[in-house]
C-alpha cells in the first residue's frame, strides 16, 4: 500500500478500516461475473442519482459476524432484483442523516441468506431484502446527542421515508426504508430512545 492510502486510512474510524481496499478489489476480481456485477451495480446507483452517497465496497459489506458465520468474505453481491430497495435508503442517508451528523461508514449492508440465518435475522428482514444499512458516524459523536438528533429526524421525516431505525450499543445505528418502525438495543420498540422523545 502507498503512503497516501495509509495516511487516509489512519483518519478513518476503526470500523471503517477493518478491511483494506485492496482486499475488496481481490474479492471483485476472484470471479469474472462478479466484476461485471459490481460494475453494473455501480452504474445502476449512478443512474438512480445515489452513486456518490456511500462507497460500493461498504454497501456490499455483509456484517461484522461474517467470519463467525462461515462466510469466506465480508462482501456479497445482492441479486439484481433487490438493488432498487437500497435507493430510497441511500437518499435518506444523503438528505437527512449526513447533513445532521456528518459522514457515516457502513458496518453492514445486504446480508446473504446464510449470514442472515446465522445472525438470527427474520427471513424477510430489511437487511436480507437490501433495504437496510447499519451505520457509524465517522466523526466523534456521543450517544446522547446522536440519539437526540436521529429521533428528531424520525419525528420530522420518518413517515415520509417509511423509515425503520434502530439503535445498538455505542453509536451504531440502523436505517431502512422498508416500513416505519423503531427499536432499541434489544430489538424491541419499547426500548427505543425515541419512545421517550415521542417520535
Q: Quick one: which of 46, 69, 56 has its CA closest to 25?
A: 56
Tell me if 130 is assigned to some domain.
yes
> Which domain range does residue 184 map to?
15-197
Asked which of 10-14, 31-35, 55-59, 125-129 is least confident by mean pLDDT, the reply is: 10-14
Give pTM, 2 decimals: 0.82
Tell me if 3 is assigned to some domain.
no
- Counting residues of the chain whose pLDDT is more than 90, the rounded percentage is 52
Tell me if 72 is assigned to some domain.
yes
Structural domains in the chain (count): 1
Give 160-176 pLDDT, tens digit per residue.
999 988 888 789 999 99
- Counting residues of the chain whose pLDDT is more than 70, the rounded percentage is 81
The predicted pLDDT at position 98 comes to 97
CATH value at residue 30: 3.30.1380.10
Radius of gyration of the chain (CA): 17
Give 40-60 pLDDT, tens digit per residue.
999 999 999 999 999 999 999
Tell me if 5 is assigned to some domain.
no
Amino acid at each position: 500500500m502507498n503512503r497516501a492510502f495509509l495516511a487516509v486510512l489512519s483518519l478513518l474510524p476503526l470500523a471503517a478500516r477493518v478491511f483494506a481496499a485492496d482486499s475488496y478489489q481481490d474479492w471483485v476480481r476472484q470471479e469474472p461475473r462478479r466484476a461485471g456485477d459490481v460494475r453494473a451495480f455501480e452504474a445502476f446507483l449512478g443512474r438512480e442519482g445515489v452513486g456518490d452517497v456511500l462507497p460500493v465496497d461498504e454497501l456490499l459489506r455483509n456484517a461484522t459476524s461474517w467470519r463467525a458465520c462461515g462466510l469466506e468474505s465480508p462482501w456479497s453481491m445482492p441479486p439484481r432484483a433487490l438493488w432498487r430497495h437500497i435507493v430510497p435508503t441511500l437518499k435518506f442517508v444523503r438528505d437527512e442523516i449526513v447533513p445532521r451528523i456528518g459522514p457515516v461508514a457502513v458496518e453492514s449492508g445486504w446480508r446473504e441468506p446464510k449470514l442472515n440465518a446465522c445472525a438470527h435475522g427474520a427471513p424477510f428482514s430489511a437487511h436480507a431484502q437490501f433495504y437496510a444499512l447499519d451505520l457509524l458516524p465517522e466523526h466523534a459523536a456521543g450517544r446522547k446527542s446522536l440519539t437526540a438528533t436521529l429521533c428528531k429526524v424520525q419525528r420530522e421525516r420518518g413517515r415520509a421515508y417509511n423509515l425503520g431505525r434502530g439503535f445498538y450499543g455505542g453509536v451504531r445505528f440502523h436505517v431502512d426504508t422498508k416500513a416505519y418502525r423503531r427499536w432499541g438495543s434489544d430489538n424491541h420498540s419499547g426500548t427505543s430512545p425515541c419512545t421517550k422523545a415521542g417520535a
